[in-house]
Amino acid sequence: MSGEQIQRPTPNAQRPTPKAEAEAEAIQAELPLAEKERRDREQLFLDVAEFEGMLATFGRLTARQICAHRAGWDDRYVRKLAERSAGVLSFPGSQGYSLIAAAGDDELRHAANAIATQVAVMQAKRVRFENILGLRHAAQKLGDAHAASDAVARELSAEYFAEGAQ
């Protein structure tokens, strides 16, 4: 530090040139992944708070309404915000997003039932995939790739028609 002076920006300093801005962006891109993840978590926290504030102000909103109000958000991001929030009511088949505090008992009961149904469907899908994987590996151990493909096709066909009957 001896002999070196630190230059401080003056009040009349000019804006950075486009080249300087591009260099700054390149440096930001090179930040360690942990730092980027930390910033992303912080932004997500802020966005969840904004999302909850929108619902507190306007009541029930659809993803389309939310995305129209907030540039840069899409329906996937809105779903992510709803998942991260402890105060937002969101469930399969709902007519949008609302605050849990504003929901009545019937709506909460309906949400719980819709989620239980979704869990059962996803559990059945997981079991089907595990069964197919098991059949595939068993046939492959026997050294017959055609048998493995046939076993998978039979399992998929049986599961498809079983689901259609329900």
The answer to whether residues 61 and 88 belong to one domain is: yes
Q: Region 46-52: what's the mean pLDDT?
A: 96
pTM passes above 0.75: no
* pLDDT score recorded for residue 146: 65
Distance (Å, rounded) from C-alpha 163 to C-alpha 166? 5
The answer to whether residues 115 and 98 belong to one domain is: no
The H or E element containing residue 6 is none
Distance (Å, rounded) from C-alpha 84 to C-alpha 68? 21
Tell whether 120 is covered by a domain: yes
Q: In which band, very low, low, confident or very high, does the pLDDT at 166 lie, cut at 50, 70 and 90? A: low
Distance (Å, rounded) from C-alpha 147 to C-alpha 36? 48
* pLDDT score recorded for residue 69: 92
Burial track 139-162 (b if 16+ CB lie within 10 A, e otherwise): beeeeeeeebeebbeebeeebeee
The answer to whether residues 42 and 89 belong to one domain is: yes
The answer to whether residues 54 and 98 belong to one domain is: yes
Q: In which band, very low, low, confident or very high, does the pLDDT at 141 lie, cut at 50, 70 and 90? A: confident
* pLDDT score recorded for residue 157: 73
Mean pLDDT score of the chain: 82
* pLDDT score recorded for residue 40: 87
The answer to whether residues 83 and 99 belong to one domain is: yes
Q: Region 136-154: what's the mean pLDDT?
A: 71
The answer to whether residues 99 and 109 belong to one domain is: no
User: Of the given ranges (11-15, 42-46, 118-122), which has the lowest mean pLDDT?
Assistant: 11-15
What whole-number percentage of the chain has pLDDT above 70? 73
The answer to whether residues 63 and 109 belong to one domain is: no
Instruction: List the domain range (segments joined by +) for residue 81.
Output: 31-103
* pLDDT score recorded for residue 31: 62
Greater model confidence, 37 or 101: 101
